[in-house]
Every structure is written in C-alpha cells, then in structure tokens.
Amino acid sequence: MSERGDEHDPVHPVPWARALLLIPFVAMLWVSSYNSARPMIAGIPFFYWYQLLWVLIAAAIVGFVYALER
C-alpha cells in the first residue's frame, strides 16, 4: 500500500480550462484553413507541418489542463 494519500484525491474541475480542449479539435476540423502546400518548412508542405504542430500544441494544452485540475 502506498503511504501517499493524495494519489486518489478528487479532481477539481475547472470548466473554462476544459473548454481549452476544444481548440485543437476545432482547428483540425477547419480544413480549409490549412489546405495548401505553401509555405514549406524544410521541404515539408504546410498541410503536414501545420497538423504536426497542432499535435504538439494539443499535448501542451492537455498538460496545462491536467496541471490546473490536479
């Protein structure tokens, strides 16, 4: 058994923080905003690096929301 009693503490929901989780979802659904080949970065078309950038941004947002509610 663990001596730490805080690992099962209830989460403190922050509604506005959970709304932040919608940002990457909406950004990826709005395909016409990134449906182009230019500008390129290191030979990678905009269409691909924009989506990869949102993967990193979404991970940061999820981490922020988790830290806020913990």
Domain boundaries, the chain: 11-69
Using pLDDT thresholds of 50, 70 and 90, give the confidence band for residue 15: confident
User: Looking at per-residue confidence, does 29 or 4 come out higher?
Assistant: 29
Determine the residue type at 15.
Answer: P
Token couple for 20: 């932040």
44-53 pLDDT tens trace: 898 899 999 9
pLDDT on residue 12: 82
Q: Which of 13, 14, 28, 16 is nearest to 58 (CA)?
A: 28
Say what the pTM is.
0.76
Q: With 60 as the cut, is the pLDDT of residue 2 above it?
A: no
Give the residues across from 41 on adjacent strands: 44
Alpha helices in 1-70 (DSSP H): 15-19, 22-29, 46-69
